[in-house]
Amino acid sequence: MPLDTSTYTLAHLRLDGRRWNELRRLSASISTSGSADGSSYLEQGNTKILCTVTGPQEQKQGGARRESNEAKVEVELNVAAFSGVDRKRRARGDRRSQEMQHTIASAFQAVLFTHLYPHSTVVITLHVLSQDGSLLACCLNAATLALIDAGIPMSDYVSACTVASSPTGSTSSGDLEATDPLLDLNGVEEQELAFLTIGTSGEEGKVLVLVMETRCRVERLEGMMAVGLEGCGRIRGMLDGVVREHGKNVLEARVG
Amino acid sequence: MPPQYSTALPLSPAELSYLHTSLSFDPPIRPDGRTATQFRPLIAETDVLPSANGSARICFADGTEAVVGVKCEVERSPSDRSILRSKEDDVKRLVTGGGDEEMRDESSGGEDDEVGNGSRGRGEGRNEWVEMAIEIPGYRDDDALPVFLSAMITEALVSDGELKNRLYINQRFHWRLYIDILLLSSPLSYPLPLLSLTTHLALLRTRLPALVSEKDEDPHFNDDWEAATLLYPQSDQTTTRPPVTLLVMSVGDNIIFDPSKDELAVADAVLTVSIGKTPSSGLRLLSVRTVDPPSRLTAPGVPNSTNSANGDTAPPMQEALMLREAMDEHSLWRPPRGGMKRALVGRMIKMVVDKNGVGEEVLEGLEGVDKALEECITAIEAKDTETAKQWEQERETYTPTTIDELIVMLNPINTALNGGRSSRVWMRTKDDVLNLKHRVVRRIAASDTINNFLMDMWAAEVHRASPSEVWLN
């Protein structure tokens, strides 16, 4: 168990040496691929995601013509076979991938200014090169950067992170102060603890995505969400920094 | 099924004729000004995936990118071998039924190594132990292109017969090698050389955990990843290197390497040549396949004499055909007809396989990717000022002065394939290199792995960042 180690009980340090509210090392760069309209590469710890965006473009030929005044956001998630510890080929269109694709698509459908591009499609392709926890959160972060690189207007950044409820451990049932919720989980922690993924947009932290597949006591939920909102705010700041850095580089390269 | 969102525009007969004529000159004039044997610059990195036994990533200049990850698993050998074994062994096998799981817990990363030094003589592998999967965006897994590419690359890989023998552990277990190729962008041109180069690089860096058990007992491995051995050992006399497949095309009597999409569109003939390297006898030809050049699918031009758009009437079909046949082929585009001359095929193969030929350059360049990186890392980690002074002493005329140039030259495959310079050229820099090293040392301390460092360097090159910006964060 990741939190049963003596280092946690004594010094409150997780397996990788982080404290409860420390994010993993996040590094990202945008405009990584020349051939796509927008692209980005994001690493959060050992989770590495490469995202490319093409669009807005014409709808596919054939099939029912979608009557709409908005662009449609389509997401394709490719988890590479070598991404996990064991080599495993995911079948295209398995339920978990489809759910994640749908979550990401609806998150961006709400944030992008789709009314500017009627009858067109924005295709977001996510390649997961290595996964070590927080997959959905990293996908949302990477997609945000790629969409910004593609120049598609959106109301604000979408930033996401994971939060785990602190384990009850050996505390008695009446003791609720226990320990703090953990921010930004890696693979081992995700398997053992109950966690949620929260995605927000904007500085005030409007919640767009909230996914929880495990169970925890309902009293803890508020604390987890508070930690998550703060973590998302920090990630938003980092993503913003990456974009501004890139902008500065582009300007200086052009102007000299 | 073609990719849904490809934006390829077909070339007009006038453009095709122009390209074809330029490439037929002696020496051929290529659209980007390269020589006939010059490759485009590319970016190559290894060990980009922390959870794979070996990995590589190559980006070509036209924006296509591929990532290859190699993973290995221990597998029980098929039970028909058990007939030869004693009953004792059978009982042991039943008792240790959870052997696979035990092994996974023991070894870090979970994969086994092939038999390295112990039982080489007994090793006999099977080609089924190598499994390859190619993913191309926009194509399904059973479409023609991925299946064909996968078959070609696997064929070259197992053709020397050595790889499968290295996957043998003992009579009851063996390694299963999974090679997963991921093309990260829609294929703009025929992706085979890119995928083959990336696979070669990944296999070159694939390591398997060191075996510590003996003979036929359940395999146990050394937990220390530093002790892991390479799949293709560097210094062994009898081993070969993974193969490389190159695309070669011909226009008239000219042979052209690394063709771009435009050049392929006017090719008379296209071959894929797979070569392998044996330390003893140099390069070895593994396979040659012909590729149907896309030029055959183009429409022929319409000569002015038969063009009804000029206001005259168009002559009847028979006459129009005769007129077209009679025209000089250089004045009007016609899709190529017929096959290749045998002598031409021979010349193409010779150019690839010969000593100091194109094949050797490519293989050396790929090997250089690792060597340069290792030297760079050891020098930096050792904060070795003596090495820096040595570099100064061996100064050459070309001295890059900015980090931009240093970054470009840190990809020795770039230099090797583009001018025949050795992979050590990048180290000859001026005094600034000392300052650079200090900054680089600080940067590595801040980033987790060399991979992140490389990613930043690569990002800087792509963005043409000014030197100071790279180090600011």
Whole-model pTM: value is 0.74
Amino acid sitting at position B354: D
> How close A158 comes to chain B (CA, Å)?
22
Mutate to test the interface with A, among B143, B183, B184 (most CBs of A within 10 A): B184
Pairing of strands A72-79, A47-58: unpaired
Residues of A in contact with B48 (CB under 8 A): 129
- Indicate if the pLDDT at residue B6 is higher than 80: no
Helix (H) or strand (E) run with residue B433 in it = helix B432-446
Task: Give the helix ranges, DSSP H, for B276-357.
Answer: 317-326, 342-353
Cα separation of B54 and B372, whole Å? 18
Cα separation of A107 and A201, whole Å? 10
- C-alpha pair distances (Å), A180 with each of A4, A134, A187: 15, 19, 19
The ipTM assigned to this model is 0.84
Helix (H) or strand (E) run with residue A250 in it = helix A219-255
Q: Which of A198-207, B111-120, B372-381 has the highest average model confidence (pLDDT)?
A: A198-207
pLDDT one-digit tens code per residue, B78-129: 765 444 444 444 444 444 443 343 333 333 333 333 333 333 334 566 778 8
Q: What is the pLDDT of residue B375?
A: 65
pLDDT one-digit tens code per residue, B339-352: 788 888 888 888 88
Half-sphere exposure in the Cβ direction for B380 (13 Å, CA): 21
Q: What is the pLDDT of residue B413?
A: 35
Q: What is the pLDDT of residue A230?
A: 94
pLDDT one-digit tens code per residue, B283-324: 888 888 888 888 888 777 777 776 767 666 667 777 777 776
Q: Which of A60-69, A166-175, A236-245, B238-247 has the highest average model confidence (pLDDT)?
A: A236-245
**Nearest residue of A to residue B69 by CA position?**
A82
> How close A176 comes to chain B (CA, Å)?
36
pLDDT one-digit tens code per residue, A124-141: 999 999 999 999 999 999
- Indicate if the pLDDT at residue B466 is higher than 80: no
Q: Which of A185-189, B76-80, B226-230, B311-315 has the lowest mean pLDDT?
A: B311-315
Residues of A in contact with B67 (CB under 8 A): 80, 127, 129
Q: What is the pLDDT of residue B239?
A: 60
Mean pLDDT score, B243-259: 89
Q: Report residue B8's pLDDT band, with 50, 70 and 90 as the boundaries.
A: low
**Nearest residue of B to residue A27 by CA position?**
B452
> How close A99 comes to chain B (CA, Å)?
20
- C-alpha pair distances (Å), B225 with each of A236, B52, B90, B221, B222: 36, 12, 32, 10, 7
More confident residue, A190 or B141: A190
Crossing angle between the packed helical segments B358-381 and B412-419, to the nearest 10 degrees: 150
pLDDT one-digit tens code per residue, B155-210: 888 877 777 778 888 888 888 899 999 998 877 777 888 899 999 989 988 888 88
Q: Which residues of A touch B (CB under 8 A)?
A: 25, 27, 29, 31-36, 41, 43, 46, 48, 50, 52, 54, 57, 60, 76, 78, 80-87, 89, 92, 123, 125, 127, 129-130, 132, 241, 245-246, 248-250, 252-253
Cα separation of B424 and B396, whole Å? 11
